[in-house]
Structure 1
Amino acid sequence: MSGLSLVATFGIHLLLIAFMCYSCNGVASPVDCERAINCPADEHCFTDKYLNANGHMLYNLGCKSDRICKLLSTLGGKRDLEEVLGVKDKRSVIHLCTKCCDKGYCNNALCTDSTTPAPNMQCYKCDDIEDLAACETLVACPEYNECFADIFYNDRGDIRHKLGCREKQRCRQFLALGAHVPHGKRQGFAQLCGGCCDSPFCNIKGCETIDHVTLGHHASVSPSSSG
C-alpha cells in the first residue's frame, strides 16, 4: 500500500501504515526527482523549496516526522521555518516553501507552480536485484510505454528481478503469446517470468503480482512489502 492509514478499533488502537515518498536533494524541480523511498510509519512526505548560496532555486524532497510537519503548518515566518528545519548556516540558504503531504508519492506536486507539467508515467527501474525493496529508482517512461517486471536467472544462476519501461505493443504481444514465446538460455540469462502493467509505480511488487507470463519453473519469489 502506498498510503498512510489510521485505523481505529473502539477508539483505542491505531495502526500506522507507511507509504512511499519521493526522495531527492538539490533538484531543479520536484518533477525531476527519480527516486522514492519507503518512509517510516510516523513520517510524512515533504518538499523544501529554497535558494542556495549561488542564488539557484532548488528542491529537497523526502520524509519528515509527523511532529515536524505539524509544526510547519503553524509557522509564521522564515526564522521559525529555519529553526524547525535545523538549518546549520542560515546565511547560505533561503527557504521559500516547505510543505508536507500525507499520501503516497504526493510530494512532487508541492511548492511548485501549478502549471509545471507532470512527468510521463513513472515506473521503477532496477537491473539484476535480489530484493524488490532495494529498488528506489524511478524513471519517466517514453510515450506509448508502460511498466514491466521480469524474473530471470542471471549468469551466476541466481534468481533476480528487472524492472523498467517497455513498449506497450511489445507487452501486449508478449502477454498474448504466453508460453509460446521463445525462451531459454540466451545472452547469459534465462527468463522465468515477464509481466507488464499500465499505472504509475505498478511494477514495484514484481512480476508475479501483475499481468504476467510464466516462462520457466522456479521457486516463487515473494514480493517485498515496500509500500
Structure 2
Amino acid sequence: MTPNEDRKIREKFQQKTWNEIKTNDSWAIFKIMAEFVEGFERLSKIGPCVSIFGSARTKEDQAYYKLAENIAYELTKSGYGVVTGGGPGIMEAGNRGANRGKGTSVGLNIELPFEQHDNPYIDSDKSLDFDYFFVRKVMFVKYSQGFVVMPGGFGTMDELFEAITLIQTKKIGKFPIILVGTKFWSGLFDWIKNTLLEEGNISPKDLDLISLVDTEDEVLEVIDTFYKKYSLSPNF
C-alpha cells in the first residue's frame, strides 16, 4: 500500500471539525458543479453520438483495437458521432476511427494515477477532463444514443452496468447496448441469464436490452435499426 492509499483510509476514521467540513467537503460541491456546467455547455451541441467503452490496456496491434477503430470509422461515415473516455487503448481506437472518418470525436478524460492520458485523435474543442467518475458517467449517458462495449476491465463493467441500470429503470431512453466480442462476453451474458434471471433478480425482457455481436457491420445494423424504428436520422 502506498503512503497516499494509507492516508485515504486513515482520513475516513478521523473526526472532522465543523471548520474542516466547511473548508474541504463543502467546497468540493463547487468543483463538482463546475464539472457539470462545463460538461453540459460543451456537449449539448454535439448531436447524436454513440459511446464506445473498452479497456485502456488494449494495444494498437491487438485485434480489438482495430475492430474498435473500424466500428468508429463506420459509425462516423454513416453520420454518427463517437464519444469515448478520451484515454488510450480502446478509447484511442474509437477516437482514431472517428477522426479517420472525419466525424465528431469526443473524449471525456478522467484524471487517474495510471493508465489514463489524452489521446491525440479527439476534436480539439471536444476534449473534457474530469476528476469525478460520477460526473463523467452522467455525460456519457446524457449525450449518447447508443453504447458499444468492447472487451475491458472493471471500468468498462462499471460503464456497461450503469447504462443497463438507467435503461432498465427508465431513467434514460431504451438506447442500444451492444457487446462486441461474443467469445469475451458470452460467459458474463450466460451468468446474467442463468443466475440473475433464474434467481428472479431481473426480468426476461431485460435480456433484450443487450445485443452480442462480432463485427462492425453488425454494430451498424443494430444502431441503424434503432434509428429507423423511431424515424430518426444521424448527423448528416
Q: Report the TM-score when normalising by structure 1.
A: 0.27
Structure in which a larger fraction of residues adopt strand:
1
Bigger CA radius of gyration? 1
Structure in which a larger fraction of residues adopt helix:
2
